[in-house]
């Protein structure tokens, strides 16, 4: 392994340990998928592969949901990378990405670099497709939110809060927020699958 690969391997091990107790759908399984998707996008768009890999691996390491409502991913990224042979500009770049990535911050976040845009696209893509459907259902199961309420149209933005409603309120709006062409292509495919799923779901309900 070259020095960069060794660092990536170390960061992978540290993050997987730290996130070991977090639920499926928003734990290390999510991080692995974001890492892989970000690498796939980078292969087509270019950008600094090392920075992209580090930011993808570290982007949820201090997720607010698991740290008393305080987002600590950038702080933890600095600590983790500071203990490894990583130069300061790289640490600053990764921390900036991690700090400005999340959907919740998108109104106030600072402009992301190309590397940040790629990781943000990969993170958003993980809310779409078959995985996105499962994550929505898992989220609903955790907070006691039904996937659908009979008699309501999930595309009605003023309807009750449901998983199917979340597709329309948030998930089908993600594609137009993406930065890169490869991500838009993947999103189109994944959205089509979600719409097929919803059509089938509604047809099975009809009585
Ligand atoms: P991230 O931090 O990765 O941007 P979130 O923590 O907001 O994503 O959400 C994790 C998963 O839970 C996503 O797949 C998202 O679509 C789903 N989710 C979030 N909010 C809701 C909601 N109100 N109803 C259903 N699913 C949700
Ligand atoms: Ni994420």
Beta strands per DSSP E along the chain: none
pLDDT over 90, % of the chain? 84
Same domain, 43 and 138: no
The encoded tokens of residue 112 equal 């992301």
Residue 146 CA, ligand 2 centroid: distance in Å: 23
Residue 31 CA, ligand 2 centroid: distance in Å: 7
**Is 22 a residue whose pLDDT tops 90?**
no
Same domain, 84 and 6: yes
Closest CA to 147 of 134, 130, 157: 134
Determine whether 5 is exposed, middle or buried from the number of CB atoms within 10 Å of its CB (0-12, 13-18, 19+).
exposed
Which residues form the domain of 76? 1-114
Residue-averaged pLDDT of the chain: 93
Same domain, 108 and 132: no
Provide the CA 54 distance to its chain's centre, in angstroms.
14
Residue 27 CA, ligand 2 centroid: distance in Å: 9
Is residue 113 within 8 A of residue 97, CB to CB? The reply is yes
Give the CATH number for residue 199.
1.20.58.1910
Same domain, 2 and 101: yes
Q: pTM of the predicted model, to two decimals?
A: 0.94
C-alpha span between 50 and 7 (Å, rounded): 9
Same domain, 10 and 97: yes
Q: Is residue 120 part of a domain?
A: no
Angle between helices 114-125 and 88-99 (to 10 degrees): 40
Q: Structural domain tally of the chain?
A: 2
Pocket flag, ligand 1, residue 124 (CB < 6 Å): no
In tens, the pLDDT along 71-89 reads 899 999 999 999 999 999 9
C-alpha span between 143 and 167 (Å, rounded): 17
């Amino acid at each position: 392994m070259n020095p960069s690969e060794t660092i990536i391997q170390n960061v992978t091990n540290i993050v997987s340990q730290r996130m070991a107790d977090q639920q499926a759908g928003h734990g290390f399984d999510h991080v692995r998928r974001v890492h892989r998707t970000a690498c796939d996008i980078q292969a087509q768009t270019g950008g600094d592969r090392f920075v992209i890999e580090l930011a993808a691996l570290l982007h949820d390491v201090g997720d607010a949901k698991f740290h008393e409502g305080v987002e600590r991913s950038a702080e933890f990224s600095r600590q983790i990378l500071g203990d490894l042979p990583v130069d300061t500009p790289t640490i600053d770049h990764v921390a900036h990405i991690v700090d400005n990535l999340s959907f919740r911050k998108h109104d106030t976040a600072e402009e992301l670099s190309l590397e940040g845009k790629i990781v943000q696209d990969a993170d958003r893509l993980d809310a779409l497709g078959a995985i996105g459907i499962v994550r929505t259902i898992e989220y609903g199961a955790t907070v006691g939110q039904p996937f659908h309420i009979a008699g309501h149209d999930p595309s009605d933005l003023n309807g009750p809060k449901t998983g199917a409603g979340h597709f329309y309120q948030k998930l089908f709006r993600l594609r137009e927020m993406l930065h890169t062409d490869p991500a838009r292509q993947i999103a189109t495919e994944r959205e089509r699958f979600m719409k097929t799923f919803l059509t089938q779901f509604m047809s099975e309900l009809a009585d």
